[in-house]
Structure 1
Amino acid sequence: MKNIKYITSLLVAALVFSCSSENELVDLDVLGAPTNISALTTVTQDNTGNVTFLPRGEGVTRYEIYFGDGTTEPAYVNAGETVDHTYKEGIYNAKIVGTTLNGKKTEVTQNVVVSFKAPENLVVTIENDLEVSKKVNVKATADYALFYDVYFGEAGKPDPISANNGESVSYTYQNAGVYTIRLVSKSAAIKTTEFIKEFTVTIVNKPFTSAATPPNRQASDVISLYGSKYTNVVGTNFFPDWGQGNQGSSWAEFDLNGDKMLNYIKLSYQGIALADGKTIDVSGMEFLHMDVWTADLQKLETSLISKTNGEKPVVKNLVANQWNSIDIPISAFTSQGLTVADIFQLKFVGTPWAEGSVFIDNIYFYKAPTALIEMPIDFESTTLTYPWAGFGAADFSGIPVSVVTNPDKTGNNVSNKVVKIEKTAGAQVWAGASLNLDSKVDFSKGTKVNVNVWSPKAGAKILLKMEVSTSPKDGNNNPTVFVEVEATATVANSWQVITFDLTTSSSFNTANAYDRVILFPDFNVGGTGTSYYFDDIKQSN
Structure 2
Amino acid sequence: MKNIKYITSLIVAALVFSCSTENDLIDLDSLAAPSNISALTTVTQDNTGKVTFLPKGEGVTRYEILFGDGTIAPAYVGPGESVEHTYKEGVYDAKIIGTTLNGKKTEVTQKVVVSFRAPENLVVTIENDLAVSKKVNVKATADFALFYDVYFGETGKPDPISANNGESLSYTYQNAGVYTIRVVSKSAAVKTTEFTQVFTVTVVNKPFTSAPTPPNRQAGDVISIYSAKYTDVAGTNYFPDWGQGGQGSAWAEFDLNGDKMLNYIKLSYQGIALADDKTIDVSGMEFIHMDVWTADLQKLETSLISKTSGEKPVVKDLVANQWNSIDIPISAFTSQGLTVADIFQLKFVGTPWATGSVFIDNIYFYKAPAALLQIPIDFESTTLTYPWAGFGASDFGPIPVSVVANPDKTGNNVSNKVVKIEKPTGAQVWAGASLDLDSKVDFTKGTKVKINVWSPKAGAKILLKMEVSTSPKDGNGNPTVFVEVEATATVANSWQVLTFDLTTSSAFNSANAYDRVILFPDFGVAGSGTSYYFDDIKQSN
TM-score, normalising length from structure 1? 0.93
Q: Secondary structure at the match of 2:517?
A: strand
RMSD between aligned alpha carbons?
2.4
Q: 1:479 is matched with which residue?
A: 479
Q: Secondary structure at the match of 1:376?
A: coil
Q: 1:522 is matched with which residue?
A: 522
Q: 1:452 is matched with which residue?
A: 452
Q: Secondary structure at the match of 1:313?
A: strand
Q: Distance in 2 between matches of 1:526 and 1:73?
A: 73
Partner AA of 1:526 in structure 2: A
Q: Distance in 2 between matches of 1:286 and 1:17?
A: 49
Q: Distance in 2 between matches of 1:528 and 1:17?
A: 75
Q: 2:181 is matched with which residue?
A: 181
Does structure 1 residue 369 correspond to structure 2 residue 379? no
Q: 1:429 is matched with which residue?
A: 429
Superposed CA deviations along residues 374-421 of structure 1, whole A, max 9, x for unmatched, are: 121111111011111111222111222111112222222222111121
Q: Secondary structure at the match of 2:22?
A: coil
Following TM superposition, by how much is the alpha carbon of 1:283 offset from its aligned partner in structure 2, in angstroms? 0.9
Structure 2 CA distance for partners of 1:430 and 1:301, relative to 1, 3 Å: same
Q: Report if aligned partners of 2:15, 2:25 keep a CA contact under 8 Å in 1.
A: no
Q: Distance in 1 between matches of 2:20 and 2:526?
A: 63
Does structure 1 residue 468 correspond to structure 2 residue 465? no
Q: 2:356 is matched with which residue?
A: 356
Does structure 1 residue 124 correspond to structure 2 residue 140? no
Does structure 1 residue 345 correspond to structure 2 residue 345? yes
Structure 2 CA distance for partners of 1:9 and 1:80, relative to 1, 3 Å: farther
Following TM superposition, by how much is the alpha carbon of 1:72 offset from its aligned partner in structure 2, in angstroms? 4.4
Q: Report if aligned partners of 2:8, 2:101 keep a CA contact under 8 Å in 1.
A: no
Q: Secondary structure at the match of 2:333?
A: helix
Superposed CA deviations along residues 272-292 of structure 1, whole A, max 9, x for unmatched, are: 111111111111111111111
Following TM superposition, by how much is the alpha carbon of 1:51 offset from its aligned partner in structure 2, in angstroms? 2.6
Q: Distance in 2 between matches of 1:263 and 1:283?
A: 28
User: How is 1:19-34 mapped onto 2 (pairs within 5 angstroms)?
Assistant: 19=19, 22-23=22-23, 34=34
Q: 2:219 is matched with which residue?
A: 219
Q: 1:54 is matched with which residue?
A: 54
Q: Report if aligned partners of 1:67, 1:93 keep a CA contact under 8 Å in 2.
A: yes
Following TM superposition, by how much is the alpha carbon of 1:350 offset from its aligned partner in structure 2, in angstroms? 0.8
Structure 2 CA distance for partners of 1:231 and 1:159, relative to 1, 3 Å: same
- Structure 2, unaligned runs of 5 or more: none
User: How is 1:413-428 mapped onto 2 (pairs within 5 angstroms)?
Assistant: 413-428=413-428
Following TM superposition, by how much is the alpha carbon of 1:106 offset from its aligned partner in structure 2, in angstroms? 4.8
Q: Report if aligned partners of 1:45, 1:191 keep a CA contact under 8 Å in 2.
A: yes
Structure 2 CA distance for partners of 1:197 and 1:399, relative to 1, 3 Å: same
Q: Secondary structure at the match of 1:271?
A: strand
Q: Report if aligned partners of 1:9, 1:61 keep a CA contact under 8 Å in 2.
A: no
User: How is 1:82-121 mapped onto 2 (pairs within 5 angstroms)?
Assistant: 82-98=82-98, 106-121=106-121
Q: Distance in 1 between matches of 2:158 and 2:20?
A: 40
Structure 2 CA distance for partners of 1:527 and 1:23, relative to 1, 3 Å: same
- When structure 1 is superposed on structure 2, of 194-203 and 204-213 the one drifting more is 194-203
Does structure 1 residue 8 correspond to structure 2 residue 7? yes
Structure 2 CA distance for partners of 1:283 and 1:397, relative to 1, 3 Å: same
User: How is 1:125-140 mapped onto 2 (pairs within 5 angstroms)?
Assistant: 125-140=125-140
Structure 2 CA distance for partners of 1:141 and 1:7, relative to 1, 3 Å: farther
Q: Secondary structure at the match of 1:8?
A: helix
- When structure 1 is superposed on structure 2, of 349-358 and 156-165 the one drifting more is 156-165
Q: Percent identity?
A: 85
Structure 2 CA distance for partners of 1:27 and 1:526, relative to 1, 3 Å: farther
Q: Distance in 2 between matches of 1:464 and 1:510?
A: 16
Q: 2:246 is matched with which residue?
A: 246
Partner AA of 1:115 in structure 2: S
Superposed CA deviations along residues 259-315 of structure 1, whole A, max 9, x for unmatched, are: 111111111111011111111111111111111111111111111111112111111
- When structure 1 is superposed on structure 2, of 108-117 and 435-444 the one drifting more is 108-117
Q: Report if aligned partners of 1:9, 1:62 keep a CA contact under 8 Å in 2.
A: no
Q: 2:259 is matched with which residue?
A: 259
Structure 2 CA distance for partners of 1:494 and 1:359, relative to 1, 3 Å: same
- When structure 1 is superposed on structure 2, of 530-539 and 74-83 the one drifting more is 74-83
Structure 2 CA distance for partners of 1:245 and 1:388, relative to 1, 3 Å: same
Partner AA of 1:191 in structure 2: K
Q: Distance in 2 between matches of 1:82 and 1:231?
A: 61
Following TM superposition, by how much is the alpha carbon of 1:65 offset from its aligned partner in structure 2, in angstroms? 3.7
Does structure 1 residue 387 correspond to structure 2 residue 387? yes
Partner AA of 1:497 in structure 2: V
Structure 2 CA distance for partners of 1:156 and 1:226, relative to 1, 3 Å: same
Q: Distance in 2 between matches of 1:17 and 1:395?
A: 73
- Structure 1, unaligned runs of 5 or more: none
Q: Report if aligned partners of 2:251, 2:265 keep a CA contact under 8 Å in 1.
A: yes
Following TM superposition, by how much is the alpha carbon of 1:76 offset from its aligned partner in structure 2, in angstroms? 4.9
Q: Report if aligned partners of 1:10, 1:101 keep a CA contact under 8 Å in 2.
A: no
User: How many residues are aligned here?
Assistant: 538
Q: 2:232 is matched with which residue?
A: 232
Following TM superposition, by how much is the alpha carbon of 1:228 offset from its aligned partner in structure 2, in angstroms? 0.8
Partner AA of 1:148 in structure 2: Y
User: How is 1:300-315 mapped onto 2 (pairs within 5 angstroms)?
Assistant: 300-315=300-315
Structure 2 CA distance for partners of 1:62 and 1:417, relative to 1, 3 Å: farther
Q: Report if aligned partners of 1:117, 1:188 keep a CA contact under 8 Å in 2.
A: yes
Partner AA of 1:8 in structure 2: I
Q: Distance in 2 between matches of 1:190 and 1:74?
A: 28
Partner AA of 1:124 in structure 2: V
Q: Report if aligned partners of 2:447, 2:540 keep a CA contact under 8 Å in 1.
A: yes
Q: Distance in 2 between matches of 1:29 and 1:529?
A: 63
Following TM superposition, by how much is the alpha carbon of 1:104 offset from its aligned partner in structure 2, in angstroms? 5.9
Q: 2:40 is matched with which residue?
A: 40
Partner AA of 1:357 in structure 2: S
Structure 2 CA distance for partners of 1:529 and 1:35, relative to 1, 3 Å: farther
Superposed CA deviations along residues 304-356 of structure 1, whole A, max 9, x for unmatched, are: 11111211111111111111111111111111111111111111111111111
Q: Report if aligned partners of 1:5, 1:77 keep a CA contact under 8 Å in 2.
A: no
Q: Distance in 1 between matches of 2:6 and 2:499?
A: 53
Q: Distance in 2 between matches of 1:477 and 1:357?
A: 30
Structure 2 CA distance for partners of 1:61 and 1:457, relative to 1, 3 Å: farther
Structure 2 CA distance for partners of 1:371 and 1:130, relative to 1, 3 Å: same
Superposed CA deviations along residues 149-204 of structure 1, whole A, max 9, x for unmatched, are: 21222233333222111111111212111222222212122332222222111112
Q: Secondary structure at the match of 1:473?
A: coil
